[in-house]
Structure 1
Amino acid sequence: MKKILTLSLLFIGLHTYAQKAKLELNLQKDSTYLLSVAADMDIDQLLNGAHQLVKTTVTGTTAHKVTAIKDTLYEMEVTYKKLGMHIQMGDKEMGFSSEAGADDLMSKVIKIMINKPFIITMSKRGQIVEVKNIDSLFSGMAKEFPQVGELQLTQIMAQMKQSFGEKSIKGNLQETFVIFPKAPVSVTGMWTTLTTMDAAAISVKTLTKYTLDAITDKYYQVSGAAVITPDKVPAFKQSNGYFMRLTQATGNYTAKLKIDKTTGWVTESHITKNISATMQAKKTATGPVELSYPMKIAMKFTGSDK
């Protein structure tokens, strides 16, 4: 009798272990899905033989409303609900926030971007097909800041578009959502994804190997390990009076995710990322590179659907 019971339990365990799950987005029209993130980034620059450390914390919440479903594609209206940034370099600190109480120029610029929708089209597998209407984020800035000189406002908008332009937003969204396998997988099953980012003076591709670690009543538990390698030669981007780019970027990252079984939305994520690269800078767009130094970037990222 004990042998029969043991064999039965073993059979049940093996059957559960062998069950395959189809991981993909299953969103509903007119429903809104939140994504809140907090990222701590340490940048170590070896400049003239001395280490210069810049610590940055970025926080934000975006709302994704499904406005249309076309075959395997979701069209979403995306809005920033809140944004914030804190930067520390040596004994200098500065912070910007869309929350009430912050009245510096950059905070006011960020506040203008809140609740202004842009459009993304995403596949069930999380592939970002299109990002459009980004200019709506910056509409009305000239009217809002008549006291700011045209040149200064142009420089501010150019810097903001490096982080919130079409390519940057698409690259960041791909890292968040391109996580699903092409076919159903069982627990311990593995698959790979390949994403590219070509934005903000960096161009890399990321090959990630994912594993389905567990299936619970409410979510899939997934882990990932990635290798980051250079893609095409990145373009120089103007910043703080210089034209700059990151070349020869290599690195790795690890991820732990919880994916809602019903919707496929990422409800919780923990990511660590390390990148080494070379920063190149020059004074004019067509001039020679005048400064080149190594840089290391260490980032810890957490996300949730709250």
Structure 2
Amino acid sequence: MKKILTLLLLATTTVAFAQPKKLELNLQKDSTYYLTTNGKLDIDQTIQGAHQLIKTTIKGRMSHKVTSIKDTLYNIEVAYKSIGMEMEIQGKTLSFDSEAADSSNIFSRVMKSIVNKPFDLVLSKRGEIVTIKNTQNLFKNIFDGLPPIPEEKKTQLLAQLQQSFGDKAIRGNFQESFIVFPKTPIALKGSWTSRTFLETGAISAKTNTRYVLNNITDDGYEISGDAIVVPGAPAEFKNGNGYFMRMSNVSGTTKTIVKIDKQTGWILESQVVKAIKGTMQVKQTLAGPIAMTMPMTVNAILHTNHD
């Protein structure tokens, strides 16, 4: 009898796990969800025959408050709670941290001014970024209280910030954090594909991802994704350090391992590994000819978790 009961229990469990699951976000109005990201980014390039490696570590924490729900869409108020970065290039280190106690670091003070300034995001139940609005709020009064800065430097710094925190950049970065769930229920070991677009800084690319539901635990769904990165529409030249640059011929791969909460669909933890290469084109003036081209590779590992 015990063996029969055990076999019956195993059979019931197997059937339950084999049933297709509806994977989607199930967020609650007025609830706030957090994500903390830590990552390493290496940019390898050759400029006029000289090899250059830029090593960057980044960290950040963001809040996502659901302000309203309409049909299959969530209106979310998003705010950076902390931002930090350290960049090592040619033996020199540049760092900033919105939580730094050193008030003499202008970059840290600028980042601190961005923290707790909300902007709006519309997110579908499938995890698709529909719209991003009011990111201009991030840049209001960012130079208040700082030592005098030449207007030219202010303009340059603001342009660089908008490249990293503008609508297109935030859309691309956010979409990488959220899995685009399948339109129909998916069974254990089942797969589906999705296409997303990346437009950040001077890069434009399309990503085709194949996801697999690998495991179902008591508290979550474990999913992996393998993506191919291909060029998107030609990227615009962006101002950086007095030059205008864009990356063309973009290609590469992205591998994702993520665990999402069974109840909410929110990310519990994830790891994204990127390997991207392309050609950087440089102009001295926006209207001028391309003055220089150079190969570039980007390798990154990003860890995200809910806290």
Q: TM-score, normalised by structure 1?
A: 0.96
Alpha-carbon distance change, 10 to 146 in structure 1, aligned in 2, over 3 angstroms: closer
Instruction: Give the partner amino acid of 1:266.
Output: I
Query: Where does the alignment leave 5 or more consecutive residues of structure 1 unmatched?
Result: none
Name 1:110's counterpart in structure 2: 111
Task: State the AA in 2 paired with 1:251.
Answer: G
Q: Given that residues 17 and 216 in structure 2 are in contact (C-alpha distance below 8 angstroms), is that contact kept between their aligned partners in structure 1?
A: no
Query: Residue 76 of structure 1: CA displacement?
Result: 0.7
Q: RMSD of the alignment, in Å? A: 1.6
Give 1:140 deviation, angstroms.
1.0
2:37 is matched with 37
Deviation for aligned residue 1:272: 0.5
Tell me what 1:223 maps to.
Answer: 224
Task: State the secondary structure of the residue aligned to 2:56.
Answer: strand
- What displacement does 1:181 show? 1.1
Structure 2: gaps of 5 or more residues: none
Alpha-carbon shift at residue 197 of structure 1 (Å):
1.4
SS at match of 2:193: strand
Q: Which residue of 2 aligns with 1:92?
A: 92
SS of the aligned residue for 1:143 comes to coil
Partner of 1:199: 200
Q: Shift in Å at residue 271 of structure 1?
A: 1.0
Aligned to 1:258: 259
Q: Distance in 2 between matches of 1:4 and 1:14?
A: 15
**C-alpha distance in structure 2 between counterparts of 1:166 and 1:3, whole Å:** 60
Structure 1 residues 240-251: aligned runs within 5 Å:
240-251=241-252
Over the matched positions of the two proteins, sequence identity in percent amounts to 47
Shift, 1:149, TM fit: 1.9
- Deviation for aligned residue 1:218: 0.5
Question: CA shift at 1:299, angstroms?
Answer: 0.2
Match of 1:185 in 2: 186
C-alpha change, 1:124 and 1:286, in structure 2 (3 Å) is same
What is the match of residue 11 of structure 1?
A: 11
- Give 3-state SS (helix, strand or coil) of 1:144's partner: coil
The one-letter amino acid of 2:101's match is G
Match of 2:144 in 1: 143
Shift of 1:18: 1.6
Cα 1:208–1:6 shift into 2, 3 Å: same
| Structure 2 equivalent of residue 132 of structure 1 | 133
Contact in 1 for aligned 2:110/2:143 (Cα 8 Å): no
Task: Give the superposition deviation at 1:13.
Answer: 5.2
Distance 1:77 1:10, change over 3 A: closer
Distance 1:147 1:183, change over 3 A: same
The structural deviation recorded for 1:298 is 0.4
Q: Identify if the C-alpha distance between structure 1 residues 74 and 6 changes in structure 2 by more than 3 Å, giving closer, same or farther.
A: closer
Alignment of 1:274-289 (within 5 A): 274-289=275-290
1:1-37, Cα deviation, whole Å (9 max, x unpaired): 7996786466335413421211110001110000110
The AA in structure 2 aligned to 1:106 is: F
- Read off the aligned partner of 1:85 and give its amino acid letter: M
Shift of 1:232: 0.8
SS of 1:185's partner is coil
- Whether the 8 Å contact between 1:96 and 1:102 is mirrored in structure 2 is no
Over 3 Å counting, the alpha-carbon distance change for 1:200 and 1:4 in structure 2 is: same
Alpha-carbon distance, 1:154 to partner: 1.3
Letter in 1 for 2:76: M
The code of the aligned residue for 1:84 comes to G
